[in-house]
Structure 1
Amino acid sequence: MLVKEIIDMFEILDSAYASGEKVAEFLKGIKSDCTVKVETLTGEEGMSTDVIKVMIPGKNGKSKGGTAPTIGLLGRLGGLGARPERTGFVSDGDGALTVLATAAKLLKMQKGGDFLEGDVLVSTHVCPDAPTQPHKPVAFMGSPVSMAQMNQSEVDASVDAILSVDTTKGNKIMNHKGFSISPTVKDGYILKVSEDLLSIMEITTGQLPKVFALSMQDITPYGNNLYHLNSILQPATATTAPVVGVAITTETAVPGCATGATNMLSIDEAARFILEVAKAYTKGECSFYDEKEYAHLQKLYGSMEHLRTFGIDA
């Protein structure tokens, strides 16, 4: 379980004074030699946020000259809070809370002698006062910086696969409390759902797996005037690595800017899932997609990488 890590991290993030440096200080308090980088990004309107990256090296990870694959755990969000409009931690912050609590757990595991085979790179951003924006059926959280800036800072070229964790409650597509996963998205293709990920989801939840639907619009970049479910698959527009969305969900449509909507059990379920995927993936026991089938798909139908761009009229 990651309940303690979630509570400890929530206390840091649920504050008007939350910052990347405070998160980094907490993580270094767990393991003083951990590698944490904090970068402040400033948007065109002068608002800023702290991007935080935590590298947790594996026994045979690339950071040590090894060959084990690297997984990225990316917390997607507009902000942790919508101050001064709203007081407190907003629903939109669940993705950051999930991956940062998982980073804390991985560091504790290393202190206890348990190391994953490959490297894990955890990245997200910390902003307690992000703007809101209109969206149907419920209001979205905005972001202090552009999606292009966020992807450039959060999506690291060193990772071989990404789990993108995002609050995805402001819709009428997912109607259960907990979390869902997406089909694998790679270089403009929406591929079949990974059987390995479904199996891990069954084990960590003790329930039948939940998968959410994607449209072609969802895997195109923000800013092209097309509908997007939310930003959960935006990392896929900035990398050729396979990306799977991990959506924290509710039965009803909940605004991203709503406070009091974070459910610890849902966060714990999602965190245990991404932790187990990280263990299996870096050990070579979990695949996000069938490489041979993907090569055949490209041979038959060509590249779809143009869907990662703004299109021919941009």
Structure 2
Amino acid sequence: MSIREVSEVINLIDDPDLSGAGVKKLLDSASATGCTITVDSVPYDDPHRAFTCDFIKVTIPGSNGKTHGGKRRTLGIVGRLGAQQAQPERIGMVSDSDGSIVALALALKLLRMHQAGAILQGDVIITTHVATHVSITEHQPVDFMGSPVSSATMNDHEVDENMDAILSVDTSKGNKIINHRGIAISATAKQGYILPVAPDLVSILENATGEPAFTFPVSLQDITPYENGFYHFNSIMQPHVATVAPVVGVALTAKAAVPGSVTGASYPDAILDAVRFGLETAVQFTWGRAEFFDSSEFEKLQTRYGSLKQFQTSGKK
């Protein structure tokens, strides 16, 4: 169970003095030999906001992972969000912070497991960012949190070429499409293709929640770059545009349309479900016992229909 880690991370993110350095201090307290934790601070895109966006990257090596020259695969877990807080307009953490809570709680849990000798087969790389002063953007059906930097900059810092598959975790409550309180996964996106929902991940999700698996729809626009001007459900699938690896979105959802910019709207039960799902996916994927897509069918699709990598770009203007 990861109740302790979820509680510690929520308390940290709710702190008005939240910073990348504070996150690193918590993670360092659980770090074991060979694990690395870095913070890279980047100025906001808005020159009128003299703050930094702190990118966190945690690497937990596996017993037979690439870090040690092994052959087991690496799972990437990306906590997507705009920001954890919206000071001074809001007091405390906002709903948008959920993706980072899941990512950091997973990092803390995996670090403690590694420290205790419960080491996964392959490496796990976990990334997210910390920001506390962003604007709130008007959007329908609910307002969105602003972003300290562009989605492309986030991908530069949060998507690692060593990731062989990626879980992108993001709050996705501000819509009228997923009417379920809990978590849901997307179909797999890879190099411009929207592939079937992975059966192995469905099984892991059902085990983690004790309920039938919930999924959410992904459109072609959702897997194109965020800044291209087309409609996007939200930024959950954005790591897809920066990698050849398969990407699956892990959405934290609600029955009502809940804005990411409101406080008091993070649900620990759903967060814990997402952490359990992410942890078991890390175990099974790096062990070679769970797949994100059917590789042979993907090869046949490319042979018959060609490359769709153009959907990872901004396309023709």
Per the TM alignment, residue 111 of structure 1 is displaced from its structure 2 partner at its CA by 2.1
Q: Which runs of 5+ in 1 are unaligned?
A: none
Q: Is the 8 A contact 1:6 1:97 kept in 2?
A: yes
Alpha-carbon distance in 2 for matches of 1:101, 1:44: 28
User: In structure 2, what is the Cα distance between the partners aligned to 1:225 and 1:30?
Assistant: 42
Question: Would you say the 8 A contact 1:71–1:161 is kept in 2?
Answer: yes
Offset at 1:162? 0.2
Residue in 1 aligned with 2:42? 41
Tell me the amino acid that sits aligned with residue 8 of structure 1: E
Aligned counterpart, 2:292: 288
Residue 303 in 1 paired to residue 307 in 2? yes
Q: Secondary structure at the match of 1:143?
A: coil
- Pick one of 154, 158, 161 that aligns with 1:154: 158
Q: Is 2:193 aligned against 1:189?
A: yes
Q: Following superposition, which runs of at least 4 residues in structure 1 exceed 3 angstroms of deviation?
A: none
Q: 1:63-74 residue pairs with structure 2 within 5 A?
A: 63-74=67-78
TM-score (norm 2): 0.97
Residue of structure 2 in register with 1:8 after alignment: 8
- TM-score, normalised via structure 1 length: 0.98
Cα distance, 1:226 vs structure 2: 0.7
Please name the residue that 1:26 is paired with: 26
Letter in 2 for 1:144: P
* Preserved CA contact (<8 Å) 2:20 2:55: yes
Which residue of 1 is the match for residue 222 of structure 2?
218
**Equivalent residue in structure 1 for 2:85, among 81, 86, 99:** 81
**Over aligned residues, Cα RMSD in angstroms?**
0.9
How far apart, CA to CA, are the structure 2 residues paired with 1:202 and 1:182?
Answer: 14
For the residue of structure 2 that corresponds to 1:122, the secondary structure is strand
Rate the CA distance shift 1:108–1:136 in 2: closer, same or farther, 3 A. Answer: same
Tell me which amino acid in the other structure corresponds to 1:228.
H
User: What residue identity is the alignment partner of 1:270?
Assistant: A
User: What whole-Å deviation, never above 9, does each CA across 1:130-168 have from its counterpart, x for those lacking one?
Assistant: 221111000001111111111111101111000000000
Secondary structure, in 3 states, of the residue corresponding to 1:213? coil
CA distance in structure 2 between the aligned counterparts of 1:277 and 1:32, rounded to whole angstroms: 21
User: Could you tell me which of 107, 110, 113 is aligned with 2:114?
Assistant: 110
Query: 3-state SS of the aligned residue for 2:64?
Result: coil
Distance, in Å, in 1 between the alignment partners of 2:59 and 2:290 is: 21
1:188 deviates by 0.5
Distance 1:44 1:128 in 2: 14
- Pairwise CA distance, 1:116: 0.4
Displacement of 1:32 in angstroms is: 5.2
Map 1:216-255 onto structure 2 (within 5 A).
Answer: 216-255=220-259
**Number of residues paired by the alignment?**
313
Confirm or deny: 8 A CA contact 1:80 1:130 kept in the other structure.
Answer: no
1:142 is matched by which residue type in structure 2?
A: G
2: distance between equivalents of 1:135 and 1:150?
21
Match of 2:277 in 1: 273
2:19 and 2:131 in contact (8 A); partners too = yes
Moved more, 42-51 or 159-168: 42-51
Q: Does 1:95 align with 2:95?
A: no
The aligned amino acid for 1:162 is I
Partners of 1:130 and 1:16 lie apart in 2 by 14
User: Can you list the C-alpha shifts for 1:1-45, whole angstroms capped at 9, x where unaligned?
Assistant: 211101111111112211111111111111254310100112331
